[in-house]
Structure 1
């Protein structure tokens, strides 16, 4: 039997690849502003990504991506998700879509950045996965 995380991930890839591709293009634009392959400035990551997603019209589509991912699991949400926490948030790794379901919590990460942590130094943010198949991550706990 296929688990909820796998079902959700497959649905996002099958039905929302254009939105994921827009997210990846927005992340490319953010990373191009850094002047290097990485940045240690957290303000140069999540905020600009969200702004880019809003400008591209993708931010308002993310609640629909989440709702569809939940439907793929056979579950339903108690209320329609909105483009704000706790459902949708921009993080230093990329947009995170969250849904609390009857048996657990579904989290879909559209990973656009990687965070490197080395003891005694500030985290480094790098551009991460560049294809939808690599970027879409889902967990269910």
Structure 2
């Protein structure tokens, strides 16, 4: 499976979608005291809300389908904007598809340091990772 092609697709044709997910992280983090959050729910809930309002979650199934196609594979079922296909985590947004391997597409916008969550990865190139598990 071609993970490089998936990354290229996200940083090319879907760059605006990735940037919107990053902008949503900025909006969610703006409500944190002192720029950090100490529990994952203070990260996940506001991030999910901003992603939903911006249309990122609604577009996520189509983006996942495109990623699978870019990888040279096909999905056996249509993904939906909910687990297990689309998951909002304390690190950001995760898209996953189970093929021969599990394709994991992440927009990582939060990190944990010294027991507190902080905003990380300001650009699409920094935020996007594509892995097989």
Using the size of structure 1 for normalisation, the TM-score is 0.90
Aligned equivalents of 1:38, 1:99: Cα separation in 2:
31
- Tell me which residue corresponds to 2:29: 31
Contact 1:9–1:137 under 8 Å retained in 2: yes
Moved over 6 A (4+): none
How many residue pairs end up in the alignment? 133
Matched, 1:133 2:125: yes
- Tell me which residue corresponds to 2:14: 16
Aligned equivalents of 2:109, 2:62: Cα separation in 1:
19
The counterpart of 2:64, out of the listed 57, 63, 66, is 66
Contact 1:7–1:72 under 8 Å retained in 2: yes
Q: Could you say which structure has the larger radius of gyration?
A: 1
Unaligned runs of 5+ in 1: none
Written as runs of structure 1 = structure 2, the 5 A alignment for 1:22-101 is 22-101=20-99
Q: What do residues 6-51 of structure 1 show as CA deviations (whole Å, max 9, x unaligned)?
A: 2211111111111111111110011110021211121110111111
- Provide the secondary structure at the position in 2 that maps to 1:45: helix
